[in-house]
Amino acid sequence: MDRLRSVLTKVHLIGVARFADRTVRRCVFTGVNVVRSLARVPLVGPGLDPLLTRIDRRDRLHFELAELLRVCNALNDQHLSYWIAGGWGLDALVGCETRRHGDLDLVLDRFQVDLTTIESLVMSLGYQRKKPLGGTLWFPDAEVYEDNRGHRIELLNVNWELLIGIDALLGPDQTLEHDTAGENDQATQFFLKHCTSTGAFDGVSLPVLSIAAQQLFHLGYESRPVDVHAMDVSRLISMEKVSRIDSLDRATARSSTQEPHQSSTLLLIPIFTLPSELWRLCRLYHNDLNLIPPHVTLAFPFLPQESVTAEVVQELSTLFSESMAFDFELGEVRWFGSEVVYLEPSNADAFISIIEVLKERFDDFHPYDDAFDSVIPHVTLSDNGSLADRRILERHAPKYLPISARASHVWMMSNDRGPEAWSIVKIFQLGTSSSAESSV
């Protein structure tokens, strides 16, 4: 397919190349879904699992936070100017990882000048150049690099002419000109002022595109399922002063056929360090990790959404800031009866301590509606499908253990869109020592 796209592009049939690429991708996507369905059949499934592992590219691509920091450190060591875009850029602005990412988008300040240097650098990190299909409206030049571990980097060039046009509309008396090296002072200052910002992960500062630029660069494209999540994260970033956790008019997106329900909230600590293969198995055997990532639940249900006032938010902020972030491991596969298969975290007392404080501070909070005598911290692998499905997870999960993880943030999620449609409405940071903070 790469060779076909290259030939079509060289003869200026880029439209045909894109159509061919989309068609092939749709066929592959349909085929993967068929194999996924067959893989759940008890007698057929075990034989198809190796095939599914090889062809299920979507679940194989995973760009971890540690890999992002490794790449950014290498770029900064060479004093190269760039900004993180896309999903990782949004997460850096909000302050923590909010979903699993398949790639890393980097916008280069001086694309034509620095591309050769950056290409040599990323190749020294284990990446190989792939044939690019072509750029987009906002990023006319895009170079793609992948390694053999499922990591993908896209180096992007800004459409300066388009940005100059936007600036002319915003300020007709300050029309800008920009050369291909990105060195024109006026254009650079415009870009730096309106399109760039600084994000961070656990105290590590990173250059990113601003929220305004992220929203601007998404205009003109067909909405994807992941864009709903991006809108929620953008809303989190934009909410500087919150009097209460409300739906912010998201309820208007509900279908008219949906029956009204009382929105509830939950508190959890997300985990994104599950290996790609275990993540794939969880999704295959009836645990939709796209809705809520692997996590340790702190409070479910917490409070009705209408009861989450500014005072509650402040109380939670204080409570979590007084609880220090901590490391733990997922080392054992356990069961709740025969209905839930889960991973048991080490350092369980640290989770229980937070839960107990929540119970003391909020009289209306009753873990699991008091259905159990005690709360056992756990990371659910699956609580859906058949018992046979859960047995498969029990059999495969141990070869990926132990899994190291860190509790650094607490999410508040709400189901205001629907009983099972959970989305992030607030992120709290657990306490950290000032000495742990650094910058890339």
Phi-psi label, residue 194: left if phi above 0, alpha if psi -120 to 50, beta otherwise: alpha
Radius of gyration of the chain (CA): 23
- pLDDT value of residue 56: 58
Q: Is the pLDDT of residue 252 over 80?
A: no
Strands 104-108, 152-157: pairing is parallel
Which one-letter DSSP state was computed for residue 434? G
Higher pLDDT: 251 or 301? It is 301
Band the pLDDT of 257: cuts 50, 70, 90.
very low
- pLDDT value of residue 324: 95
Mean pLDDT computed over every residue of the chain: 81
Provide the H-helix boundaries in 56-150.
57-60, 65-77, 86-94, 111-124
Provide the H-helix boundaries in 111-255.
111-124, 160-170, 185-195, 211-217, 225-238
Domains of the chain from N-terminus onward = 1-55 (no CATH), 60-238 (3.30.460.40), 240-439 (3.90.1140.10)
Q: Is the pLDDT of residue 135 over 80?
A: no
Higher pLDDT: 222 or 268? It is 268
- pLDDT value of residue 361: 96
Give the mean pLDDT of 346-361. Answer: 96
